[in-house]
């Protein structure tokens, strides 16, 4: 798993709860990143942002098929 600079990772062990921020990119590895407690590290979920569509021209109605 490639760890990119600036990304944050959280320990999946609720008793540990460690969080790291990557300051230098890693090389590609075969295994997922692990915390010092041995639990896997995962990126926290970030909800996708809603995009607002702005259109200068009004929408045309769909033509009806016979």
| pLDDT confidence of residue 46 | 81
pLDDT of 25 > 90? The answer is no
Paired sense of beta strands 19-21 and 8-11, if any = antiparallel
Q: How confident is the model over 32-60, as pLDDT tens digits? A: 889 999 999 998 888 888 877 776 666 66
Total domains, the chain: 1
Residue 1 included in any domain? yes
Q: How many CB atoms lie within 10 A of CB 6?
A: 8
d(CA 65, CA 51): 32
Residue 64 included in any domain? no
Residue 12 included in any domain? yes
d(CA 32, CA 47): 23
| pLDDT confidence of residue 15 | 94
User: What predicted TM-score, i.e. pTM, was given to this entire model?
Assistant: 0.61
pLDDT of 30 > 60? The answer is yes
Residue 35 included in any domain? yes
Residue 34 included in any domain? yes
Domain hosting 12: range is 1-44
């Amino acid at each position: 798993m490639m760890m990119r600079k600036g990304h944050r990772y959280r320990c999946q062990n609720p008793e540990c709860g460690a969080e790291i921020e990557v300051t230098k990119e890693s090389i590609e590895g075969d295994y997922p990143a692990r915390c010092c407690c041995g639990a896997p590290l995962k990126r926290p979920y970030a909800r996708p942002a809603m995009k607002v569509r702005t259109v200068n021209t009004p929408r045309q109605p769909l033509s009806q098929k016979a």
